[in-house]
């Protein structure tokens, strides 16, 4: 490690990029939800929406970021629904100006006997602008931290290990995030241990969900009036959550 400064050495010895979020991760896995990570991400999303509509509107550095990057087609409408009309108006105005400036050239090329090529350049520019999102970036950072914490606690803490195996989650989408994180940060043996547990847990929850959702459909047949609902009342909704990685309404 010659040539490294003291702080580089510290960095080298502790290559951890992510911060542990033990308490919220523990609490989420301790609650009886279809997927703890779906619930945590929903909360995180709400927090970031509030942040960008709150006093950050008055912070020049944040305003520069908001004007330049903006919000995606999922998160901008959530900001509309969150209230704070005056603050939304302020950022909407300056962000709109900036988007207009940025796309102005592309918009004008359509007006000069546009070609398939200028149409394609215009649509690509609009789409890439609309995909940029400050909330997506923050939420992705949260997801990394929570996934990091979950795989670490699974290996290091007995209590969390049992919470994990008894939990109804994760959904399929968040199982993918956990698998990626385990591959990124765990030692080979720990990774294999975690992935085996994840695989068994997923197999079991998918099989159970399939049985529940089948029963759900059967309950619409009057011949099955006598059949008990069991855990199947919300199985249609839980299937959507399992496959989409988003909290959905469980009750009809």
Residues that bind Zn ion (CB under 5 A): 35, 37-38, 72, 75, 133, 135-136, 171, 174, 245
In the complex with Zn ion, the residue whose CB is nearer, 135 or 182, is 135
Q: Judge contact between 90 and 96, C-beta under 8 A.
A: no
Give the angle subtended at the CA of 61 by the CAs of 56 and 67, to the nearest 5°. 85
Least distance in Å: CB of 234 to Zn ion?
A: 15
Least distance in Å: CB of 118 to Zn ion?
A: 28
Least distance in Å: CB of 71 to Zn ion?
A: 6
Burial of 112 (0-12, 13-18, 19+ CB in 10 A): exposed
Least distance in Å: CB of 25 to Zn ion?
A: 13
Least distance in Å: CB of 207 to Zn ion?
A: 18
In the complex with Zn ion, the residue whose CB is nearer, 75 or 87, is 75
In the complex with Zn ion, the residue whose CB is nearer, 136 or 250, is 136
In the complex with Zn ion, the residue whose CB is nearer, 80 or 219, is 80
The phi and psi torsions of 195 (rounded to 5 degrees) equal -65, -35
CA distances from 157 to 1, 150, 152, 160, 170 (A): 33, 10, 8, 6, 18
Least distance in Å: CB of 174 to Zn ion?
A: 4
Euclidean distance between CA atoms 131 and 126, whole angstroms: 9
In the complex with Zn ion, the residue whose CB is nearer, 37 or 185, is 37
Euclidean distance between CA atoms 143 and 45, whole angstroms: 11
Euclidean distance between CA atoms 186 and 170, whole angstroms: 19
First to last CA, the chain: 61
In the complex with Zn ion, the residue whose CB is nearer, 57 or 143, is 143
3-state secondary structure 10-76: HHHHCCCCCCCCHHHHHHHHHCCCCCHHHHHHHHHHHHHHHHHHCHHHHCHHHHHHHHHHCCCCCHH
Least distance in Å: CB of 179 to Zn ion?
A: 13
In the complex with Zn ion, the residue whose CB is nearer, 45 or 212, is 45
């Amino acid at each position: 490690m010659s040539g490294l400064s003291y702080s580089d050495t510290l960095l080298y010895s502790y290559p951890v990029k992510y911060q542990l979020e033990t308490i919220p991760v523990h609490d989420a896995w301790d609650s009886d939800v279809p997927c703890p990570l779906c619930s945590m991400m929903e909360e995180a999303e709400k927090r970031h929406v509030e942040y960008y509509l709150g006093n950050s509107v008055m912070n020049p550095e944040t305003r520069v970021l908001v004007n330049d990057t903006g919000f995606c087609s999922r998160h901008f409408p959530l900001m509309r629904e969150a209230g704070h009309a005056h603050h939304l108006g302020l950022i909407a105005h300056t962000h709109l100006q900036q988007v207009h400036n940025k796309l102005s050239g592309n918009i004008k090329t359509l007006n000069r006997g546009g070609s398939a090529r200028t149409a394609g350049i215009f649509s690509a520019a609009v789409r890439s602008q609309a995909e940029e999102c400050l909330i997506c970036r923050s939420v992705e950072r949260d997801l990394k931290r929570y996934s990091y914490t979950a795989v670490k606690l699974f290996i290091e803490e007995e209590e969390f290990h049992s919470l994990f195996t008894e939990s109804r989650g994760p959904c399929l989408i968040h199982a993918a995030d956990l698998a990626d994180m385990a591959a990124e940060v765990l030692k080979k043996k720990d990774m294999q241990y975690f992935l085996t547990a994840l695989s068994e847990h997923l197999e079991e929850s998918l099989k159970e969900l399939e049985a529940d959702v089948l029963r759900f459909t059967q309950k619409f047949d009057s011949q099955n009036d006598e059949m008990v609902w069991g855990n199947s009342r919300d199985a249609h909704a839980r299937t959507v959550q399992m496959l989409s990685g988003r909290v959905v309404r469980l009750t009809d």
